[in-house]
C-alpha cells in the first residue's frame, strides 16, 4: 500500500504515559500469584524477600544499561534497532523477527487466555467460552490501538492506576494490620539444596519483572526520548521493585508462610478474603482482570512498532502494507492487525504459555548481546556526549550481563528441548531476511 512519506508516528507520549507503559507491561498477574512458588523455592520468608529484591536489582541494572543505549538511539523498534546499530542488519532482523512472529504474539495470547479463565470463573460462565473471550479481548485491545497512541496511552494510565489499587490495599492491610512476623518463617516443602533453590527463586522473580524493555519500542513516539526514556525505565522499574517488596511483606504479615505455600496460586486471593471478606476476593479478581488488560494493552501498543520499523526497512514480507500509518491517527494499522491475527491463531491452535516460555532463551540471548553492546558503543565513541550515563559503570552492565546469563544457563539446564525449538524459530528467519533483501535490490534496479 502506497503512502505519502510525510505521515510519521505521533511523538506525543510524555513521562506519565511512558511510566504507565513500563509499570503496566511489567505488573500483570505475577505479583498476585507467584508469592507461593517463590517462597517454596526460597525456603523461608527472609530468603524469599531477598529473591524478590535481587531480581529487582538485576532488572534495574538491565534497565539502566538499556537506558543509556536507548538515549543514543531513540528510534521506534527498541531492541531491534539497538542490535542492528551495534551488530549489523542481520542481528537486528533476527531479534525483531523472534519478537514479532512468536514471542510478542505468544505473550499477548497467553495474557488473553488467562484473562478469559478469570472472566469465566468470575461470572460463572461455561469454560467453552474461554477461547471466544480471549479472542474478543485481543480484538478489543487491538481496536483501541487503531486509534491515536494517545488513546492507548490513556488506557494504559487508567489500567495502571486501577491495578495499583489492589496492590495498595494488600500493602496497607498487611503492613498495618498483619499480625505475623514477616521474617524468618520457614517452610517444609522447599528443596534441601538452599543455594540451588535460592537461584531458582530469583529466576522466578525475574520473569515477574520482565516486560520493562518494551517501552523502548516506542522511542519514536516519546517526547524528548533522550531524557524521557531513561527516566521512564529507571523510575518505572524502581517503583515496581518497591511494590513487589511491599506486597510480599504484606502477604507474609497476614498469613503463615506454610499456609501460603499450601495454597499455591490461591494464596493472594485467600489473603483478600482474610483481609476484606468475600467481597475482598471479588475486588481482587477485578483488580487482576484490570491488571491483565493493562498488560495486554502495553504489549499490543509496543510489539507492532517493531514490525512497523522492520517493514520501513523492507526486511519482512508485505513491507509496503505493514509500514502503513493511518493519515489521521498515525497508527500502524496493518502491523497491529498482523500481531493480533498471530496471537489469535495461537489462542485457538497452540499453547501460548509454552510458546512464550520457549522464546525466553533467545530473547535473553539478545538481551545479553545488547548489554555487551554498551561496552562496544563506549569503545567506538569514547568522546561522545551522552544524554544519559549508566550509574556505576562498568559494574551496572556487568551485573545485568551476569543476571541474564543466569537465566540463559537455567533455561539450557531445565528445558533443552525448548531451547532447541527457540533456536529453530530464529534460524527460519535467516532465509527470509536474505530473500527480502534480494527482492529489495531487484526493486532498486528497476
CATH code at 429? 1.20.1740.10
Using CB atoms within 10 Å of the CB of residue 441, give its burial: 0 to 12 exposed, 13 to 18 middle, 19+ buried: exposed
The answer to whether residue 316 is domain-embedded is yes
The set of cell numbers assigned to 356 is 512464550
Average pLDDT value for residue range 13-26? 90
Dihedral over alpha carbons 150, 367, 355, 30 (to 10 degrees):
-70
Q: Please tell me the pTM assigned to this model.
A: 0.90
- Does residue 138 register a pLDDT over 60? yes
pLDDT single digits (tens) 259-273: 888 888 778 778 878
The answer to whether residue 59 is domain-embedded is yes
Domain assignment of residue 98, given as a range: 15-445
Q: Where residue 196 falls among pLDDT bands split at 50, 70, 90? A: very low
Highest mean pLDDT among 83-87, 354-358, 361-365: 83-87
Query: What is the predicted pLDDT for the residue at 33?
Result: 75
Query: What is the predicted pLDDT for the residue at 132?
Result: 96
Question: Considering its fold, how many domains does the chain have in total?
Answer: 1
Query: What is the predicted pLDDT for the residue at 1?
Result: 55
The set of cell numbers assigned to 359 is 522464546
258/353 Cα distance (integer angstroms): 28
Angle at the Cα of 311 from the Cα atoms of 307 and 313, rounded to 5 degrees: 125
Average pLDDT value for residue range 277-289? 82
Q: Is 3 left (phi over 0), alpha (psi -120 to 50) or beta?
A: beta
Query: What is the predicted pLDDT for the residue at 335?
Result: 97
The answer to whether residue 254 is domain-embedded is yes
- Does residue 195 register a pLDDT over 60? no
The set of cell numbers assigned to 220 is 519514536
pLDDT single digits (tens) 117-133: 889 988 989 989 999 99
The answer to whether residue 5 is domain-embedded is no
Residue with cell 526486511: 315
Query: What is the predicted pLDDT for the residue at 432?
Result: 94
Query: What is the predicted pLDDT for the residue at 273?
Result: 81
Which is more confidently placed, 167 or 56?
56
The answer to whether residue 55 is domain-embedded is yes
The set of cell numbers assigned to 52 is 524478590
Query: What is the predicted pLDDT for the residue at 193?
Result: 42
What's the mean per-residue pLDDT of the chain?
89
The answer to whether residue 216 is domain-embedded is yes
377/351 Cα distance (integer angstroms): 39
Average pLDDT value for residue range 354-363? 85
- Does residue 150 register a pLDDT over 90? no
The answer to whether residue 340 is domain-embedded is yes
Residue 442: alpha-carbon gap to chain centroid: 38
- Does residue 75 register a pLDDT over 60? yes
pLDDT single digits (tens) 372-397: 999 999 999 888 888 899 999 999 99
Average pLDDT value for residue range 157-183? 85
List % helix, strand, coil for the chain (3-state, nearest 5). Answer: 80, 0, 20
422/98 Cα distance (integer angstroms): 9
Average pLDDT value for residue range 81-107? 95
The answer to whether residue 10 is domain-embedded is no
- Does residue 34 register a pLDDT over 70? yes
- Does residue 53 register a pLDDT over 90? yes
Amino acid at each position: 500500500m502506497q503512502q505519502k512519506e510525510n505521515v510519521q508516528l505521533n511523538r506525543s507520549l510524555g513521562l506519565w504515559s511512558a511510566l504507565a507503559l513500563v509499570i503496566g507491561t511489567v505488573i500483570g498477574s505475577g505479583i498476585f500469584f507467584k508469592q507461593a512458588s517463590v517462597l517454596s523455592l526460597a525456603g523461608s520468608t527472609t530468603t524469599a524477600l531477598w529473591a524478590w529484591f535481587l531480581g529487582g536489582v538485576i532488572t534495574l541494572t538491565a534497565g539502566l544499561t538499556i537506558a543509556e543505549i536507548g538515549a543514543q538511539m531513540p528510534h521506534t523498534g527498541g531492541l531491534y534497532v539497538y542490535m542492528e546499530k551495534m551488530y549489523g542488519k542481520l542481528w537486528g532482523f533476527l531479534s525483531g523477527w523472534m519478537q514479532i512472529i512468536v514471542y510478542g504474539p505468544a505473550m499477548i495470547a497467553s495474557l488473553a487466555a488467562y484473562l478469559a479463565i478469570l472472566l469465566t470463573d468470575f461470572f460463572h460462565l461455561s469454560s467453552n467460552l474461554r477461547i471466544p473471550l480471549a479472542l474478543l479481548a485481543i480484538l478489543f485491545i487491538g481496536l483501541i490501538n487503531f486509534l491515536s497512541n494517545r488513546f492507548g496511552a490513556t488506557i494504559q494510565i487508567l489500567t495502571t492506576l486501577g491495578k495499583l489499587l489492589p496492590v495498595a490495599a494488600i500493602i496497607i492491610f498487611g503492613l498495618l494490620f498483619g499480625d505475623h512476623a514477616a521474617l524468618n518463617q520457614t517452610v517444609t516443602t522447599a528443596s534441601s539444596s538452599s543455594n540451588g533453590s535460592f537461584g531458582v527463586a530469583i529466576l522466578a522473580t525475574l520473569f515477574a519483572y520482565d516486560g520493562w524493555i518494551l517501552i523502548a519500542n516506542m522511542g519514536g513516539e516519546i517526547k524528548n526520548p533522550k531524557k524521557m526514556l531513561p527516566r521512564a525505565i529507571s523510575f518505572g522499574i524502581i517503583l515496581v521493585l518497591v511494590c513487589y517488596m511491599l506486597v510480599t511483606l504484606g502477604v507474609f504479615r497476614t498469613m503463615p508462610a506454610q499456609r501460603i505455600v499450601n495454597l499455591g496460586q490461591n494464596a493472594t486471593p485467600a489473603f483478600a478474603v482474610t483481609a476484606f471478606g468475600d467481597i475482598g476476593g471479588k475486588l481482587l479478581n477485578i483488580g487482576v482482570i484490570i491488571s491483565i488488560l493493562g498488560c495486554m494493552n502495553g504489549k499490543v501498543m509496543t510489539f507492532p512498532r517493531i514490525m512497523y520499523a522492520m517493514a520501513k526497512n523492507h526486511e519482512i514480507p508485505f513491507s509496503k502494507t505493514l509500514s502503513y500509518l493511518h493519515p489521521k491517527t498515525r497508527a500502524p494499522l496493518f502491523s497491529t492487525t498482523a500481531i493480533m491475527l498471530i496471537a489469535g491463531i495461537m489462542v485457538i491452535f497452540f499453547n501460548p504459555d509454552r510458546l512464550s516460555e520457549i522464546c525466553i532463551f533467545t530473547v535473553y540471548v539478545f538481551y545479553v548481546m545488547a548489554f555487551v553492546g554498551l561496552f562496544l558503543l563506549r569503545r567506538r565513541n569514547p568522546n561522545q556526549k551522552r544524554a544519559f550515563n549508566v550509574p556505576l559503570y562498568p559494574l551496572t552492565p556487568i551485573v545485568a550481563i551476569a543476571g541474564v546469563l543466569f537465566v540463559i544457563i537455567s533455561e539450557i539446564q531445565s528445558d533443552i528441548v525448548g531451547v532447541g525449538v527457540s533456536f529453530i524459530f530464529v534460524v527460519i528467519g535467516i532465509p527470509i531476511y536474505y530473500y527480502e533483501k534480494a527482492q529489495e535490490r531487484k526493486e532498486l534496479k528497476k
